[in-house]
Structure 1
Amino acid sequence: MTSQAQRNRPLSPHLQVYKPQYTSVLSILHRITGVALAFGTILLFYWLVAAAGGPESYAAAQDFIGSFIGRLLLFGWSVALFYHLCNGIRHLFWDVGVGFELDTAYKSGIAVLIGTGVLTLLSWILGYAVGG
């Protein structure tokens, strides 16, 4: 039998034990964007199935995706995509042993955030310029 004290103690360090740090927040965001990409891919799959289903189903999908909610989901998906891409490149450098110094890790984290913003805005600006 376990005592009350054993049941209440944490099994490993938890978020309530440590203050969030810049690098840990970026790491958690990487995991969250991975999950967001999975859900966004469901939206992409819905659009592709609707396109294959004929003009009526495609029009319904386009109506949803073109709505405020649909565009908000697409925008969030594009942010997740570019964050995950930029941070994934950062992780590739770490895999070969480059960029572990604290100063470099902070600077590369800032570069990830800037890259995410720039790539997201560019893709939406270009998307509107080309597709309207």
Structure 2
Amino acid sequence: MSSSPLPGDASNDPTDDQTGRFVRQPNGRVRPLSPHMQIWRWHITMVASIAFRVTIGAATFGAMFVIGWLAVLAFGPEAHATFAALAGSPLGLLIGIGLTWVLFSFMLNGGRHLINDATIGLELKPADLMSHIAVWGPFVLTAILWIVLFATGRVSL
């Protein structure tokens, strides 16, 4: 009869553990490793959390973009015209669309966190709903905004 190893069992030294599920801590105790992404089933709240972290990094890029634009303004009309041409290029529009998604994602995920910090919506169904809004809402809002910009002639290729 085979039994699974127990963390406190002396015969289950981490060096003998063939499963890789246990580790010897600095205090000498054998403890199980924390669950990993391969163990947990993907859930919408995980996706929302990861998306929020991605938007924080992308917002840093967006801030550098704005600082670059302000720096270009200081160099005069010719430099600004060059920057405006780059911003109006397909690559510039792609960056603009991406930064719009980042803004909407940051706003919706930030709102989700603000609501959760008030201890509201922490049950499974409301948490799932807010996570779905935070994950899919930025795509919808970005598409609507850019469709309006293109339809009104504010932006063109």
Gaps of 5+ in 2: 1-13, 24-31
Letter in 2 for 1:96: A
Aligned pair partner of 2:61 in 22, 39, 46: 39
Do residues 100 (structure 1) and 92 (structure 2) align? no
Percent same amino acid among aligned pairs? 35
- TM-score w.r.t. the length of structure 1 is 0.81
Q: Which residue of 2 aligns with 1:131?
A: 154
Q: Is the 8 A contact 1:83 1:116 kept in 2?
A: yes
Larger relative contact order (CA 8 Å, sep ≥ 6): 1
Measure, in 2, the Cα distance between the counterparts of 1:108 and 1:86.
9
Gaps of 5+ in 1: none
Letter in 2 for 1:91: H
After superposition, the C-alpha distances for 1:101-132 in whole angstroms (9 at most, x for unaligned) are 11111111222244323432333244342634
- TM-score w.r.t. the length of structure 2 is 0.70
After superposition, the C-alpha distances for 1:64-112 in whole angstroms (9 at most, x for unaligned) are 1111111111111110110110110111110010001111111112222
Do residues 81 (structure 1) and 103 (structure 2) align? yes
Q: Which has the larger radius of gyration?
A: 2
Alpha carbons of 1:38 and 1:31: their partners in 2 closer, same or farther (altered >3 Å)?
same
Between Structure 1 and Structure 2, which shows a larger proportion of helix residues?
1
Count of residues in Structure 1 that have an aligned counterpart in Structure 2: 129
Q: Which residue of 1 aligns with 2:132?
A: 110
How far residue 34 of structure 1 moved from its aligned partner, in angstroms, is: 0.8
How far residue 15 of structure 1 moved from its aligned partner, in angstroms, is: 2.8
Identify which range, 109-118 or 51-60, moves more after superposition: 109-118
How far residue 47 of structure 1 moved from its aligned partner, in angstroms, is: 1.4
Q: Is the 8 A contact 2:48 2:132 kept in 1?
A: no
